[in-house]
Amino acid sequence: MKQKLQQLKKIAASSALIAVGAAGSEAHAATTAPDFSTLTSGIDFSTVTTGVLAVAATLITVYVGIKGAKILIGMVRGA
């Protein structure tokens, strides 16, 4: 039992030492934020947005047409 306790203490000490080392390197890395402006400045989503909105408008038109047809068929059947 005493040996296992000593092994556990040894593992805990080495883990703490690794954690302190990792925290120190992460603190240095967090001070300088990456700059992605050169990558994102050349991307233009305006044509993609226009295409998505055009498809959405087409689908809405189809769904409104189907709903209108169902309403009219219901009126004819109900009369």
Number of H helices, E strands in the chain: 3, 0
pLDDT of residue 13: 76
pLDDT of residue 69: 96
pLDDT digits (tens, 9 = 90+) for 29-46: 556 778 888 888 888 888
Compute the average pLDDT of residues 37-58: 88
C-alpha dist (Å) from residue 36 to 33, 39, 41, 45? 9, 5, 8, 17
pLDDT digits (tens, 9 = 90+) for 8-25: 777 777 777 677 666 655
pLDDT of residue 56: 96
Residue 38 or residue 69, greater confidence: 69
